[in-house]
Amino acid sequence: MNYPANQATNEAVFVSLISGPEGRDSVAIELAGGEVVMMTPAQARSLATSLITAVNRAEVKASLRVSTNLWRRMDEHEARLSSVAG
What's the average pLDDT block by block, 10 residues per block, for the chain (86 residues)? 51 91 93 94 97 95 75 59 57
**For the chain, how many structural domains are there in total?**
2
Domain housing 26:
1-39
pTM equals 0.61
CA distances from 23 to 18, 19, 31, 42, 44 (A): 10, 6, 25, 16, 17
17 vs 30: CA distance, rounded Å? 11
Neighbour-count burial for 44-74, b at 16+ CB within 10 Å, e otherwise: beeeeeeeeeeeeeeeeeeeeeeeeeeeeee
DSSP 40: -
Predicted pLDDT of residue 49: 97
64 and 85 assigned to the same domain: yes
Predicted pLDDT of residue 66: 72
Predicted pLDDT of residue 2: 47
71 and 54 assigned to the same domain: yes
81 and 53 assigned to the same domain: yes
80 and 65 assigned to the same domain: yes
Q: Which amino acid is present at 55? A: V
Predicted pLDDT of residue 79: 59
